[in-house]
Structure 1
Amino acid sequence: MATETATLGGGCFWCLEAVYQELKGVQHVESGYAGGHVPNPTYEQVCEGSTGHAEVVRVSFDPEIVSYRELLEIFFTIHDPTTPNRQGNDVGTQYRSVIFYHTPAQQETARQVIAAMANVWDAPIVTELSPAQEYYKAEDYHQNYFRQHPLQGYCAFVVAPKVAKFRKVFADKLNAPE
């Protein structure tokens, strides 16, 4: 079975992780940091905004079950790609909308999806498109965060609505319940 990797940033990584964990064809989702200049950054350093990193998820997926294009279509549905360095009340470069492509084919697919999505949004898409860069896994307490803390305030009011929207819009793409 062939596995591909996607690295995406669209605000808080807890939101993206929670959605992609429920997507059929996704084998693993990990929260982390990419796109910065400081080696092995901590969450606190990334939150200060001085490292240049974005909060991202690294998604391992089976392209025979879910395509990279489908991952990106979901990505553009569950976050606002028109707000630079911001998702809702989360403000800073660490919350920027960014696609770190791993291959020329991913780069081209991302360009096509961004162009297609331009008609969906009322404002210009500001999502960065960059080659994959050094990636650092986030601290263990960030992994599987929504699954472990669904009633925590941020999860209940920010993550849960995004997961609900994903489940409604992409019901045919959900994993079978465990």
Structure 2
Amino acid sequence: MAKKGPPSNVLLLDTSAFIMGYMATDVDAEHFSVPSVRDELTEGGLHRIRFDNAARSGHLKVLSPASRFLEDVREVAKEMGEEGALSAADMQLLALGLYLQSDGKTPTVVSDDYSVQNLANGMGLGFKSLATPGIQQMFEWVVYCPGCRRRFEERQRGDTCPICGTELKRKPGRKKKIG
């Protein structure tokens, strides 16, 4: 009898996956997440219980990515204008994706967060959404001031315009069709 190898389907579960009721019991997939995703789930709530049960039963591997992968994610997020739109859990999950990719796996991020999907796509990671249609185009965001109409290469400290003090906004810049 041939020995069955490890599953080729590697899924990275974001907070939204647990909120949408995703159950990490698919035997044809390896499921991964990060400790900060658990922290985003309400203590004692069904979503946290679902996360804890999956981890306890071995259906979900909870890992912390190395800092060098986090730095790579920060760099790409800055280039794409997504830096201020991501939580610590989002950054860590994407960094874990880069780590698994460097280990020869082909990870897919399960998230309904468009910024996470956009960044995953920009870093060569797969993505899949549960409740939303998912992104159809990849964006590079532009930070601008609606007051004086000045554009900025990156987020400004405090998210206010250094020229006129108006709160900065962001809008899609360059778009690229996915697939």
Please confirm whether the aligned pair reaches a TM-score higher than 0.5, indicating the same fold. no
When the two structures are superposed, what TM-score results if normalisation uses the length of structure 1? 0.25
Question: Greater CA radius of gyration, 1 or 2?
Answer: 2
Which of the pair has the greater relative contact order for Cα pairs under 8 Å at 6+ separation?
1
When the two structures are superposed, what TM-score results if normalisation uses the length of structure 2? 0.25
